[in-house]
Chain A
């Protein structure tokens, strides 16, 4: 399985500011995924990040609010823009296993609190 790291591991931010979360993988992967897990809830896919193309966003998520970069095959960033307390959540990046049918592996997550 891939080794995935995320920075920062946690942050406390003020309303109206933006935070960029970094995700680094130890091997080249085609697709990277960004999820949100709100307290007591399951995982919700925000977007799929492909290298060299625009990210694909799920219903309810827009690029202006969650811009994503994917400059190469081992790195991606997710920015949470103009934050409000409702954005308080854990943000996780993930990658597919070498065999897509064998599931995804998750990074350690970024715990975001917006005051």
Chain B
């Protein structure tokens, strides 16, 4: 069974620091990788996608992919209280499989 694993948290990070969220996946054939942000009571919002090894930067967000290690991460620079949410890692093979999410809490 294909799996996507995340630490459930909560991960507490001081405001202004870098938040690092990690995800591992089981299917070596996976091609596309996504990070979604989900605020409490809201639906998931796509914030990053990556499908090549290395880093992809978009504003304060950087997605990192290492296919050899089957590992994908999300870095949030200059963390803000508004970044407090659950972050879902998702992996696309023939369908998208979601991890259970990591709760991130930015401390003011």
Contacts and interface: CB of A to CB of B under 8 A. Distances in A.
Interface of A: 1, 41-43, 45, 48, 90, 92, 97, 101-109
Interface of B: 31-32, 34, 42-46, 49, 51, 88, 90, 92, 95-96, 98-101
B43 A104 contact: no
A109 B90 CA distance: 18
A63 B96 CA distance: 21
B43 A106 contact: yes
B92 A101 contact: yes
Given A101-B49, A102-B49, A103-B32, A42 B43 contact: no
B46 A104 contact: yes
Q: Which of A43, A92, A107 has the most CB of B within 10 A?
A: A43
Contacts of B100: 41-42
